[in-house]
Amino acid sequence: MELKQFSREELMEYLTNGIPTPVSAMYDTKTSQFYFTELTSFINTADNEYSAVITGKYQVTVSIDEIECVILTLVDQNVVFFMAPNSPEAEDMTEKEAEGIIGLVYGVTVHNFRWEQASELASKLILPESELHKLGEGSPLKVNSIEMDNLKEFIKQNKKYM
Protein backbone atom coordinates (compact mmCIF):
# COMPACT_ATOMS: atom_id res chain seq x y z
CA MET A 1 0.00 0.00 0.00
CA GLU A 2 1.34 3.40 -0.95
CA LEU A 3 0.62 6.20 1.51
CA LYS A 4 -1.28 9.11 0.08
CA GLN A 5 0.31 12.49 0.64
CA PHE A 6 -2.22 14.73 2.33
CA SER A 7 -2.38 18.40 1.52
CA ARG A 8 -2.23 20.90 4.37
CA GLU A 9 -5.99 21.47 3.94
CA GLU A 10 -6.75 17.74 4.18
CA LEU A 11 -4.64 17.38 7.32
CA MET A 12 -6.35 20.40 8.90
CA GLU A 13 -9.74 18.95 7.97
CA TYR A 14 -8.87 15.61 9.61
CA LEU A 15 -7.43 17.31 12.69
CA THR A 16 -10.42 19.61 13.18
CA ASN A 17 -13.36 17.46 12.03
CA GLY A 18 -11.99 13.94 12.32
CA ILE A 19 -11.35 11.08 9.95
CA PRO A 20 -14.43 9.35 8.52
CA THR A 21 -14.79 5.78 9.75
CA PRO A 22 -15.61 3.03 7.26
CA VAL A 23 -19.34 2.43 6.87
CA SER A 24 -18.84 -1.23 7.77
CA ALA A 25 -17.38 -0.17 11.14
CA MET A 26 -20.63 1.55 12.05
CA TYR A 27 -22.89 -1.46 11.43
CA ASP A 28 -23.86 -1.81 15.09
CA THR A 29 -22.53 -1.15 18.60
CA LYS A 30 -20.44 -4.32 18.81
CA THR A 31 -18.85 -3.68 15.42
CA SER A 32 -18.02 -0.09 16.39
CA GLN A 33 -16.43 -1.26 19.63
CA PHE A 34 -14.51 -3.92 17.71
CA TYR A 35 -13.28 -1.20 15.33
CA PHE A 36 -11.79 0.71 18.29
CA THR A 37 -10.33 -2.48 19.76
CA GLU A 38 -8.63 -3.21 16.45
CA LEU A 39 -7.48 0.41 16.10
CA THR A 40 -5.86 0.16 19.54
CA SER A 41 -4.17 -3.09 18.58
CA PHE A 42 -3.03 -1.58 15.27
CA ILE A 43 -1.42 1.38 17.03
CA ASN A 44 0.24 -0.81 19.66
CA THR A 45 1.67 -3.37 17.26
CA ALA A 46 3.02 -0.89 14.71
CA ASP A 47 6.72 -0.11 14.79
CA ASN A 48 6.50 3.29 16.50
CA GLU A 49 6.77 5.00 19.87
CA TYR A 50 2.98 5.18 20.36
CA SER A 51 0.96 3.25 22.88
CA ALA A 52 -2.81 3.17 22.97
CA VAL A 53 -5.38 2.11 25.52
CA ILE A 54 -9.17 2.00 25.33
CA THR A 55 -10.47 4.56 27.80
CA GLY A 56 -14.17 4.65 26.85
CA LYS A 57 -16.81 2.89 24.79
CA TYR A 58 -15.64 4.63 21.60
CA GLN A 59 -12.47 6.25 22.87
CA VAL A 60 -8.75 5.49 22.69
CA THR A 61 -6.06 7.46 24.50
CA VAL A 62 -2.73 7.55 22.69
CA SER A 63 0.58 8.25 24.38
CA ILE A 64 3.77 9.21 22.60
CA ASP A 65 6.91 8.37 24.54
CA GLU A 66 4.71 7.50 27.56
CA ILE A 67 3.03 10.94 27.63
CA GLU A 68 -0.73 11.00 26.95
CA CYS A 69 -1.19 13.38 24.08
CA VAL A 70 -4.26 12.51 21.99
CA ILE A 71 -7.69 11.09 22.67
CA LEU A 72 -9.36 9.51 19.63
CA THR A 73 -13.13 9.61 20.00
CA LEU A 74 -16.05 8.69 17.76
CA VAL A 75 -18.14 11.75 16.94
CA ASP A 76 -20.77 11.59 14.17
CA GLN A 77 -19.05 8.60 12.51
CA ASN A 78 -15.67 10.34 12.49
CA VAL A 79 -12.60 9.56 14.57
CA VAL A 80 -11.95 12.96 16.12
CA PHE A 81 -8.60 13.97 17.63
CA PHE A 82 -8.77 15.69 21.01
CA MET A 83 -5.72 16.84 22.93
CA ALA A 84 -5.27 14.97 26.20
CA PRO A 85 -5.61 17.12 29.33
CA ASN A 86 -1.88 17.06 30.11
CA SER A 87 -0.62 17.49 26.55
CA PRO A 88 0.98 20.77 25.48
CA GLU A 89 -1.02 23.37 23.57
CA ALA A 90 -0.64 23.15 19.79
CA GLU A 91 1.54 26.26 19.65
CA ASP A 92 3.82 24.86 22.41
CA MET A 93 4.40 21.45 20.78
CA THR A 94 7.81 20.32 19.77
CA GLU A 95 8.40 19.25 16.19
CA LYS A 96 8.54 15.62 17.33
CA GLU A 97 5.15 15.90 19.08
CA ALA A 98 3.57 17.51 16.01
CA GLU A 99 5.03 14.81 13.77
CA GLY A 100 3.58 12.22 16.16
CA ILE A 101 0.09 13.63 15.73
CA ILE A 102 0.47 13.68 11.94
CA GLY A 103 1.69 10.08 12.19
CA LEU A 104 -1.52 9.19 14.01
CA VAL A 105 -3.58 10.72 11.19
CA TYR A 106 -1.75 8.47 8.74
CA GLY A 107 -2.10 5.51 11.11
CA VAL A 108 -5.87 5.89 11.38
CA THR A 109 -6.22 6.23 7.58
CA VAL A 110 -4.10 3.09 7.04
CA HIS A 111 -6.20 1.23 9.64
CA ASN A 112 -9.37 2.35 7.83
CA PHE A 113 -7.98 1.17 4.50
CA ARG A 114 -7.16 -2.26 5.94
CA TRP A 115 -10.56 -2.43 7.66
CA GLU A 116 -12.28 -1.78 4.31
CA GLN A 117 -10.16 -4.46 2.61
CA ALA A 118 -11.12 -7.00 5.28
CA SER A 119 -14.80 -6.01 4.98
CA GLU A 120 -14.72 -6.46 1.20
CA LEU A 121 -13.12 -9.88 1.57
CA ALA A 122 -15.68 -10.91 4.20
CA SER A 123 -18.51 -9.76 1.90
CA LYS A 124 -17.16 -12.00 -0.87
CA LEU A 125 -16.83 -14.99 1.45
CA ILE A 126 -20.29 -14.66 3.00
CA LEU A 127 -23.10 -15.46 0.59
CA PRO A 128 -26.11 -13.17 0.62
CA GLU A 129 -29.27 -14.80 1.97
CA SER A 130 -30.77 -14.90 -1.52
CA GLU A 131 -27.99 -17.30 -2.59
CA LEU A 132 -28.21 -19.64 0.39
CA HIS A 133 -29.97 -22.93 -0.26
CA LYS A 134 -33.22 -23.32 1.60
CA LEU A 135 -34.20 -26.71 2.98
CA GLY A 136 -35.43 -28.99 0.23
CA GLU A 137 -33.80 -27.01 -2.56
CA GLY A 138 -30.45 -28.80 -2.46
CA SER A 139 -29.54 -31.94 -4.35
CA PRO A 140 -29.33 -35.24 -2.44
CA LEU A 141 -25.95 -36.61 -1.49
CA LYS A 142 -24.67 -39.25 -3.85
CA VAL A 143 -23.76 -42.35 -1.88
CA ASN A 144 -22.17 -45.47 -3.29
CA SER A 145 -24.94 -48.08 -3.61
CA ILE A 146 -22.67 -50.81 -2.22
CA GLU A 147 -22.16 -48.76 0.94
CA MET A 148 -25.94 -48.30 1.25
CA ASP A 149 -26.52 -52.05 0.85
CA ASN A 150 -23.94 -52.76 3.55
CA LEU A 151 -25.59 -50.21 5.83
CA LYS A 152 -29.03 -51.74 5.29
CA GLU A 153 -27.66 -55.21 6.03
CA PHE A 154 -25.88 -53.93 9.15
CA ILE A 155 -29.11 -52.37 10.44
CA LYS A 156 -31.09 -55.58 9.78
CA GLN A 157 -28.56 -57.67 11.67
CA ASN A 158 -28.29 -55.32 14.62
CA LYS A 159 -31.90 -54.20 14.91
CA LYS A 160 -32.42 -56.35 17.98
CA TYR A 161 -29.83 -54.22 19.85
CA MET A 162 -31.56 -50.93 19.13
In a domain, 156, yes or no: no
Around Cβ 74, how many Cβ atoms within 10 Å?
A: 21
In a domain, 154, yes or no: no
CA–CA dist 38, 137 (Å, integer): 40
In a domain, 159, yes or no: no
Statement: residue 120 has pLDDT above 80: yes
Confidence class of residue 140 from pLDDT cuts 50, 70 and 90?
low
Which residues span the domain enclosing 22? 8-130
- Alpha carbon distances (Å) from 85 to 37, 43, 67, 154: 22, 20, 11, 77
Instruction: Provide the whole-model pTM.
Output: 0.72
In a domain, 57, yes or no: yes
Average pLDDT of the chain is 82
Statement: residue 138 has pLDDT above 80: no
In a domain, 120, yes or no: yes
In a domain, 123, yes or no: yes
Decide: 97 and 64 in contact? Cβ < 8 Å. yes
Statement: residue 70 has pLDDT above 60: yes
* Count of structural domains, the chain: 1
In a domain, 15, yes or no: yes
Q: What is the pLDDT of residue 150?
A: 66
